[in-house]
């Protein structure tokens, strides 16, 4: 499957500005700034288990592409959303930002946009 794997954050752009914009507290922004995030993805057809491993916290969302699912933001807020698979990209609207994820050259590229600020995280596959 295209997304299945374990990825470690390699680089990110506009982290501070984006996190401030979506309301993440300054202490959490500082804690996460240089942390090498790990993302674990298991894809079985259109079913996904997507885990983001942060300092002292893991957020796991399970969903089926094209069907509404209960999700959780990195800030811990629960909401319902539909993740769609569009031209090889996973696309979802979180409560205050639009998020896409895709595999480019074997790397996981995640892009989040809110209020004109684009946050991009690139992760290399480690397993």
User: What's the pLDDT tens digit per position in 76-118?
Assistant: 788 999 999 999 999 998 888 899 999 999 999 999 999 999 9
Q: Give 1's pLDDT tier (boundaries 50, 70, 90).
A: low
pLDDT at 106: 94
Structure tokens at 35: 């942390």
Question: Is residue 75's pLDDT more than 80?
Answer: no
CA distance 1 to 69: 21
Question: How far apart are the C-alpha atoms of 127 and 125, rounded to whole Å?
Answer: 6
> Which one-letter DSSP state was computed for residue 113?
E
pLDDT greater at residue 24 or residue 67: 67
Quickly list H helices, the chain.
15-21, 26-33
Residue 71 exposed, middle or buried by CB count within 10 Å (0-12, 13-18, 19+): buried
> Can you tell me the mean pLDDT for 62-81?
89
């Amino acid at each position: 499957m295209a997304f299945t794997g374990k990825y470690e954050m390699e680089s990110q752009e506009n982290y501070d500005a984006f996190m401030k914009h979506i309301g993440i507290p300054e202490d959490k922004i500082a804690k996460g700034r240089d942390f090498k995030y790990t993302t674990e993805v298991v894809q079985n057809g259109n079913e996904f288990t997507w885990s983001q491993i942060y300092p002292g916290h893991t957020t796991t969302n399970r969903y089926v592409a094209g069907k509404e699912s209960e999700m959780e933001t990195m800030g811990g807020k629960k909401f319902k959303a539909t993740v769609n698979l569009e031209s090889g990209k996973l696309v979802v609207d979180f409560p205050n930002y639009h998020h896409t994820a895709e595999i480019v050259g074997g790397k996981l590229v995640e892009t989040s946009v809110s209020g004109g600020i684009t946050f991009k995280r690139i992760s290399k596959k480690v397993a």
